[in-house]
Amino acid sequence: MAATLETAKRPFNIDDMLHRIRQEVKQFADAAMFDLAERGYGTAFHQLVACIISVRTRDEVSLPTAIRLFEAAPTAEAVARMSVPQIAALIKPSSFYETKAYNIRDLAKRVAEEYGGDLPCDFEVMTSFRGVGPKCANLTLGIACGATEISVDIHVHRVTNRWGYVSGSTPDATRVALEKKLPRKYWVEINRLLVPFGKHVCTGRLPKCSVCPVLEYCRQIGVTEHR
């Protein structure tokens, strides 16, 4: 496959690159958090709880799991009225479900008691809950609050560094670099596009460079073997 690695590269055109990837990922399941929002669970509370459920759990599992919880208890008040074992039973397919159930009930109680049931669109408040890190807070801010924060998970980190579009040694360093370079109109969408792209095309091992829609732009940084 050396021939593709030697392909002449075009200057970055992020509009065209993301347009191509938008077409490419249509065939794959939407990223769970966006899918959830489109099903009517798009508030900050829903998104943050769903993100807790999704930690170390595949989208195929975390999405139906979050839906099952919200069908049983659609609001923060309703979740707060449930016991930890009840929540654990509903989210059981998710990994670490007992710890997550405890964290979710704690979060729901605080949202119900301190914020009248509406989780504020506030990074500091969100990350003050157990089980909520910057990635979940930023994704929730992006999807539920319309905030312009880039959520950089391992896929966004890997893909944008392989492109050579940014150079960040950690997801957080990549986020800082992207926020300097990526047009704001893509700050929310990039996660939605690159999560399925990273899972199915620009995979961790043996990325599918030979059929990749952005090969002519991608510098393939660090890619030594590919399909």
What is the binding site for ligand SF4 (CB under 6 A)?
Answer: 159, 162-163, 201-202, 207-209, 212, 214-215, 218, 220, 223, 226
| In the complex, minimum distance from the CB of residue 11 to ligand SF4, in angstroms, rounded to a whole number | 15
| In the complex, minimum distance from the CB of residue 192 to ligand SF4, in angstroms, rounded to a whole number | 16
Distance, in Å, from the CA atom of 91 to the CA atom of 34, rounded to the nearest integer, reads 19
Distance, in Å, from the CA atom of 98 to the CA atom of 44, rounded to the nearest integer, reads 22
Question: With b meaning 16 or more CB within 10 Å and e meaning fewer, what string describes 27-65?
Answer: eeebbbbbbbbeeebebbbbbbbbbbbbbebebebbbeb
Whichever of 11 and 146 has its CB closer to ligand SF4, that residue is 11
Whichever of 57 and 191 has its CB closer to ligand SF4, that residue is 191
| In the complex, minimum distance from the CB of residue 176 to ligand SF4, in angstroms, rounded to a whole number | 21
Query: Which is nearest to 47 in space by CA: 116, 155, 146?
Result: 146
Whichever of 23 and 83 has its CB closer to ligand SF4, that residue is 23
Q: What angle do CA 143, 145, 148 make, to 5 degrees?
A: 75
Whichever of 130 and 208 has its CB closer to ligand SF4, that residue is 208
| In the complex, minimum distance from the CB of residue 35 to ligand SF4, in angstroms, rounded to a whole number | 23
Distance, in Å, from the CA atom of 226 to the CA atom of 223, rounded to the nearest integer, reads 7
| In the complex, minimum distance from the CB of residue 202 to ligand SF4, in angstroms, rounded to a whole number | 3
Whichever of 105 and 226 has its CB closer to ligand SF4, that residue is 226
